[in-house]
Amino acid sequence: MNPNYPHPLIAREGWPYLAGIVLVSLSVEWGLGFFWSLPFWVLTLFVVQFFRDPPRWVPVGERFILSPADGRIVAIVPVSDPWLQRPAIKVSVFMNVFNVHSNRSPVNGKVRHIEYRPGLFVNADLDKASEANERNAMVLDTPYGSLTCVQVAGLIARRILCYVTPGSEVGAGERYGFIRFGSRVDVYLPPEVRIRVALGDVVKATTTIMAEWPEPEAEPS
């Protein structure tokens, strides 16, 4: 398990929403009775499940590239990385409203670059969301190579949160951001990595191994 897990099981990003809906639920129950407050308590449960942020086991392996998000693999395609300007394989994880929306670093590395780009809010399940939607990119350097991890806003997402800055050191599985209410995360990987997931797979942030860095070539004897 990640030894540095400083955040609560209900993400801080959700505390204002949870406090608000609990207050409304209690007010309706006190004023009108439990029957009338029931829909608001159901909504309270939805807010709790949306902002849950459970700890995760980190697989042991220096060459592992972990999934940065919970969700479903909706794309594994060869592309050009817009931030590193090189050929890449894009692996996209779509998060629906029932997934955990905390984003975690896929590798141990150093943040080289952070770039926010405004955009639209089309359905994050569509591939055009990678280029059209509001997004925030993080370029990570590791001893094995570099990759780009991009938070993409969704149809009803209106806030991308990123807590790291250029020069920050991050650990594999370390929490670095959050996206509210349906979204996706795109990972641009070097073509030489070994992909360990398939289209349609359901993945978990940190615990699912998305890819592996290649083994170094043996020195000629």
Give residue for tokens 């991308």: 160
Under 8 Å between Cβ of 178 and 11? yes
* DSSP state, residue 72: E
Three-point CA angle 156, 161, 164, nearest 5°: 155
Query: Which of these is catalytic: 25, 92, 102, 183?
Result: 183
Which 8-state DSSP code applies to residue 54?
Answer: -
Half-sphere exposure of 1 (CA within 13 A, CB side): 7
Q: Known catalytic residue: 183?
A: yes
Strand partners, 189: 89
Total residue length of the chain: 221
Residue type, 80: S
Alpha-carbon distance 164 to 160, whole Å?
13
Cα-based distances in Å from 167 to 109, 141, 164, 170, 174: 10, 10, 9, 10, 15
Q: Just list the catalytic residues.
A: 183
